[in-house]
């Protein structure tokens, strides 16, 4: 999955002639705090909501000083790189350009949320196991081997960690709600099982929370 596949077709970029008040209305409509400024398919920069509020909203945005340095994704950048750029710069949208620096469109934070929601397989029935370990001890192939030895499969996985910590949490979504045999197998190999979430089609808390959040965002 690359950046070009997540470009939104609904959001039109700002022009230098767009008034600050108009830019605020567009941001409010699409629940964004950042929008690219483009003239003749050339990306000029990213305007933030704070930039507008620090200037006269009756002036065109082309007269504003932009607080953000130019940040952009190339069309073939991996989605993880896109997520990294948006996280580091605390952006709600990220412009995408081609190899000739021509503006192609933007990716919103909601586009990313939808993608990772689908990638995590919220619609699939299953349970979740959370393991805790040190970074050097992590081996997905070893974990998968143990899980599959119990005739169970990993649907999706991701890792979380705390800043300045050598410990990580490995979240495993499995294709079954019967987790006890898998837990026992992991513990035999001295894995620290930190938490379990046994979900069924009537009580899938991860899916419910995801869908509620997407509804809140107006998806």
Q: What does the alpha-carbon distance between residue 71 and residue 61 come to, in Å, rounded to a whole number?
A: 18
Confidence of residue 120 (pLDDT cuts 50, 70, 90): low
Half-sphere exposure of 196 toward its Cβ, with a 13 Å CA cutoff?
13
**pLDDT above 50 (res 138):** yes
Q: What does the alpha-carbon distance between residue 144 and residue 140 come to, in Å, rounded to a whole number?
A: 6
Confidence of residue 194 (pLDDT cuts 50, 70, 90): very high
What does pLDDT average to over the chain? 87
Q: What does the alpha-carbon distance between residue 177 and residue 206 come to, in Å, rounded to a whole number?
A: 14
- The CATH 3.30.70.260 domain(s) of the chain lie at 121-215
CATH class, 3-116 region: alpha beta
Return the pLDDT at 21: 97
Out of 13-22, 23-32, 62-71, 110-119, pick the least confident.
Answer: 110-119
CATH class, 121-215 region: alpha beta
Confidence of residue 209 (pLDDT cuts 50, 70, 90): low
Q: For 6, which DSSP code? A: G
Return the pLDDT at 200: 53
Phi, psi of 18 (to 5 degrees): -65, 130
Task: Write down the residue that tokens 């899916």 correspond to.
Answer: 207
- The CATH 3.10.580.10 domain(s) of the chain lie at 3-116
Tens of pLDDT, residues 5-45? 999 878 999 999 999 999 999 999 999 999 999 998 999 99
Confidence of residue 201 (pLDDT cuts 50, 70, 90): very low
C-beta atoms surrounding 135 within 10 Å: 11
Supply the pTM of this predicted model. Answer: 0.69
Q: What does the alpha-carbon distance between residue 13 and residue 36 come to, in Å, rounded to a whole number?
A: 6
Task: Break the chain down into helix, strand, coil percent, rounded to 5.
Answer: 35, 30, 35
- Please report which helix (H) or strand (E) contains residue 193, including its range: strand 192-197
**pLDDT above 70 (res 216):** no
Nearest CA among 85, 88, 114 for reference residue 97: 85
Tens of pLDDT, residues 151-168? 999 988 889 887 778 999
Token output for 210? 């995801």
Residues paired with residue 195 on neighbouring β-strands, in sequence order: 130
């Amino acid at each position: 999955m690359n950046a070009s596949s997540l470009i939104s077709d609904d959001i039109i970029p700002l022009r230098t002639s767009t008034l600050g008040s108009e830019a605020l209305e567009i941001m409010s409509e699409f629940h964004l705090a950042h929008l690219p400024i483009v003239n003749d398919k050339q990306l000029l920069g990213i305007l933030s909501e704070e930039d507008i509020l620090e200037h006269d909203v009756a002036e065109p945005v082309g007269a504003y000083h932009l607080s953000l340095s130019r940040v952009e994704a190339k069309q073939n950048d991996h989605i993880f790189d896109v997520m990294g750029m948006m996280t580091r710069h605390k952006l709600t949208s990220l412009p995408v350009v081609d190899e000739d620096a021509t503006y192609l469109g933007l990716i919103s934070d909601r586009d990313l949320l939808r993608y990772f929601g689908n990638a995590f397989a919220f619609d699939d029935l299953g349970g979740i196991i959370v393991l805790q370990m040190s970074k050097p001890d992590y081996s997905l192939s070893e974990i998968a081997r143990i899980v599959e030895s119990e005739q169970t499969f990993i649907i999706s996985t991701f890792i979380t960690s705390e800043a300045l910590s050598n410990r990580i949490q490995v979240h495993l979504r499995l294709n079954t709600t019967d987790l006890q045999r898998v837990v026992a197998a992991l513990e035999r190999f001295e894995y620290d099982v930190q938490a379990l979430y046994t979900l069924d089609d009537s009580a899938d808390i991860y899916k419910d929370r995801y869908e509620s959040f997407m509804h809140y965002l107006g998806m």
